[in-house]
Structure 1
């Protein structure tokens, strides 16, 4: 059984799967809130971390009694931003980066303290979300299947429609009419391209994935890129020529990339208070996340790739060699499993499953203490995966 070297595949804007030593990477925008002042009044906007969504709430109208306050707060800009630094200290700043004066801050807090507190609570929760997500990342692991189900994704942009006023305007003003026709044409072209892509995806995921290595690569790449990773790993894989075997390597984060604090919101203060996590707690978080990553990736393979029967998965992290000062790979986890063994795990009871324990159901190499201190191991090599496949096939 030979393994094929796979090429680098671009899977989404800003995301890449490097089939040699790169991988999936996910980036997110800044978390927090903003306060915007304008002709119609002062508004607060609070982002919902991890969703790309936000809500906007009017704070007060722009009447004569408040005009001087808004003008003082905006000072030749239209936006006042609400920020919180890594220590939890919160500030109101203008778009040009300058801080509001103490008097301006008091005005905003006095008039709109409840909205700011709500924004602070959202921010506090978002900073603590990662702590909960790390050890529960496996909860979205899909069920294994040999009959993949295609779910059509609708075109994300609604077809433009003109209001009655716009229709009249289009009749009497040719430039406006041409612009509307151009927008409709762009929508139609985008919709056609989307439908073509969906048709390709349907063909790829329901038929070609049974026979084509390219379809297998494309399908796995797509689903890995769509995962909302708390701390995104780099993933590479090699596919066996008989498309029943896959070997995956995960470049894991290091322990120092785990959260080092949790946050609370004091009752009468406009700031967040950090509490340092113990070294033991951080190691436990790291232990849980490392195993949850491996568990989830194996689950994605057996759910999306119906021909795969044998999986090798190994996780490594980069360490500095004290002798040379250079970076080198340090493997801390390696496992071999089969679709049959994986199907023995009752994924309908994911909340009762501990990936750290589940990995022991496989052929496992791991040198770890109970609190999550890992020591280097030698991962399973391609020849060992081949021997494992042969022994399992003979056993059947």
Structure 2
């Protein structure tokens, strides 16, 4: 397991993310599975404006994004992070499965303190990732790419995430 962990650590240390994204993981060769936890960026860290050049090309216009557009951008970013992590795992290691859970920090309505809340958890097999055309990622919607199989998330049609219970490591499960 240590050899595989070292390989994955090396790749993750060289991986650049557009927003702060912290990953911890555990390799389980006997299950051919890698378990990953990812500390996702907060929605407040996402851009809330779009910029364009005016018709004459002399000025830059700034326009505020709608809240729904910001949430959609965040949802695509979150799903894209999980998709990228799965691709890295299967490119780096000869394992058949990855379980990736993403959390973010939110103020708890129960305690008023900042707490980690899981918002997405995904069990994915190598064979599912191999169906994605990584040569045409612009044509891939990360939300659609994760599909429904093996995915736990509570996301509304307006891209609002609710907390979930992530997939967990239990003896005898695969």
TM range (shorter): 0.7 to 0.9
2:62 aligned partner: 274
2:120 alignment counterpart? 333
What is the DSSP-based 3-state SS (H/G/I as helix, E as strand, rest coil) of the residue aligned with 1:219?
A: helix
Q: Secondary structure at the match of 1:275?
A: strand
- The alpha carbon displacement at 1:331 in A equals 0.9
Residues 202-213 of structure 1 correspond to what in structure 2 (within 5 A)?
213=1
Whether 2:72 is the aligned partner of 1:284: answer yes
1:185 aligned partner: none
Give the 4+ runs in structure 1 shifted more than 6 A: none
* Structure 1 residues 268 and 358, CA gap change in structure 2 (3 angstroms): closer
Q: Give unmatched runs, 5+ long, in structure 1.
A: 1-212, 390-396
- Count residues in correspondence: 173
TM-score of the two chains, using structure 1 as the length reference: 0.40
Q: 2:83 aligns with which of 295, 304, 320?
A: 295
Write the distance in 2 (CA, Å) between the matches of 1:375 and 1:322. Answer: 12
- SS of 1:366 mapped into structure 2: strand
Aligned to 1:230: 18
- Secondary structure of 1:242's match? helix
**2:46 matched residue in structure 1:** 258
What is aligned with 1:248? Answer: 36
Which whole-Å CA distance do the structure 2 matches of 1:277 and 1:349 have between them? Answer: 27
Is the 2:35–2:99 Cα contact (8 Å) retained in structure 1? Answer: yes
Q: Shift in Å at residue 232 of structure 1?
A: 2.7
C-alpha deviation, 1:348, in angstroms: 3.9
Q: Is the 8 A contact 2:5 2:26 kept in 1?
A: no
- What is the CA distance between 1:349 and its match in structure 2? 4.1
**How far did 1:337 drift?**
1.8
Q: What is the CA deviation profile of residues 87-143 of structure 1, one whole-angstrom value per residue up to 9, with x for unaligned ones?
A: xxxxxxxxxxxxxxxxxxxxxxxxxxxxxxxxxxxxxxxxxxxxxxxxxxxxxxxxx
User: Which one of 72, 84, 93 corresponds to residue 305 of structure 1?
Assistant: 93
Measured against aligned partners, the alpha-carbon deviations of 1:208-247 in whole angstroms (never above 9, x if no partner) come to xxxxx33322221222232231113111111225272111
SS of the aligned residue for 2:79 comes to helix
The equivalences for 1:62-141 within 5 A come to none
Query: d(CA) in 1 for partners of 2:162 and 2:154?
Result: 5
SS at match of 1:383: coil
Which structure 2 residue ranges, 5 or more long, are not aligned? none
CA distance in 2, matches of 1:369, 1:299: 26
Question: CA 1:347 to 1:262, structure 2 compared with 1: closer, same or farther past 3 Å?
Answer: closer
Larger strand fraction of residues: 2
Q: Is structure 2 residue 27 aligned with structure 1 residue 239?
A: yes
1:310 is displaced (CA, Å) by: 1.7
- Return the alpha-carbon distance in structure 1 between the equivalents of residues 147 and 138 of structure 2: 18
Higher relative contact order (CA 8 A, sep 6+): 2
The separation in 2 between residues aligned to 1:274 and 1:366, in whole angstroms, is 33
Partner of 1:356: 143
Distance 1:223 1:362 in 2: 27
